[in-house]
């Protein structure tokens, strides 16, 4: 399975996909929405403001080309590292150092046909943070997290911890904590403006 930005200048490969993923997840949190507003990529939000994420382990990601096009954003000084591309403004992945989680946005997955990935992964397995959704999110979406979300993601996280799948990460230097691109960190005023 390959990861590509819209123009194709950035490309990455997932070594063990789809075996090592909890599947299709949707997050409605204000951070995910703010980030896509910041990138002016509201077109990637669903009708309720959700972002579809399909995670993989950082250690199973190999960047093939376009490293020079990556840029990084943090919505706060301790926030998630959110990587996108400067070439075509495509959001790529949300991740953190030393955590076995590389949350790739659905839009960057490239398969032979548009339905191949969805067929391989099946329906959305979990939705979270419904309190921030626009309008009424799909039935069963919890205000924050629920048992279904926990059960969907925790085996993936535990396996990743046990097998040390957080490193090496192509998004962090050899020390495992320094992002390969210096992040632009938004201030409180910028965050609030994005959330209005």
Confidence bin at 119 (pLDDT 50/70/90):
confident
What pLDDT score does 53 carry? 97
Which CATH number belongs to the domain containing residue 52 in this structure?
2.170.150.70
Express each pLDDT in 132-179 by its tens digit. Answer: 999 999 999 999 999 989 999 999 999 999 999 999 999 999 999 999
Q: How many domains does the chain have?
A: 1
Q: What's the CA gap between 185 and 146, in Å, rounded?
A: 30
Instruction: Over range 92-118, report the average pLDDT.
Output: 90
Confidence bin at 19 (pLDDT 50/70/90):
confident
Confidence bin at 130 (pLDDT 50/70/90):
very high
CB 35 within 8 A of CB 83: no
CB 14 within 8 A of CB 1: yes
The 3-state secondary structure of the chain, one letter per residue: CEEECCCCCCEEEECCCCCCCCCCEEECCHHHHHHHHHCCCHHHCCCCCCEEEEEECHHHEEEEECHHHEEEEECCCCCCEEEEECCCCCEEEEECCCCCCEEEEHHHEECCCCCHHHHHHCCCCEEECHHHCCCCCCCCCCCCCCHHHHHHHHHHHHHHHHCCCCCCCCCECCCCCCECCCCEECCHHHHHHHHC
Query: Containing domain of residue 55, as a range?
Result: 2-195
């Amino acid at each position: 399975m390959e990861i590509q930005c819209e123009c194709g200048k950035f490309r990455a490969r997932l070594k063990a996909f789809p075996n090592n993923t909890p599947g299709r997840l949707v997050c409605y949190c204000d951070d995910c929405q703010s980030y896509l507003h910041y990138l002016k990529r509201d077109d990637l939000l669903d009708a309720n403001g959700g972002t579809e994420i399909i995670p993989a382990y950082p250690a199973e990601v190999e960047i093939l080309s376009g490293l020079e096009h990556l840029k990084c954003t943090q919505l706060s000084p301790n926030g998630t590292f959110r990587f996108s591309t400067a070439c075509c403004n495509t959001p790529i992945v949300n991740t953190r150092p030393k955590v076995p989680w590389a949350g790739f946005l659905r839009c960057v997955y490239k398969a032979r046909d548009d339905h191949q990935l969805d067929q391989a992964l099946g329906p959305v397995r979990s939705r979270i943070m419904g309190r921030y959704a626009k309008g009424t999110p799909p039935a069963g979406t919890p205000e924050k997290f629920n048992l279904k979300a926990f059960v969907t993601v925790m085996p993936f996280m535990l396996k990743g911890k046990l097998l040390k799948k957080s490193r090496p990460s192509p998004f962090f230097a050899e020390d495992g904590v320094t992002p390969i691109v210096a992040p632009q960190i938004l201030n409180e005023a910028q965050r609030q403006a994005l959330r209005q």
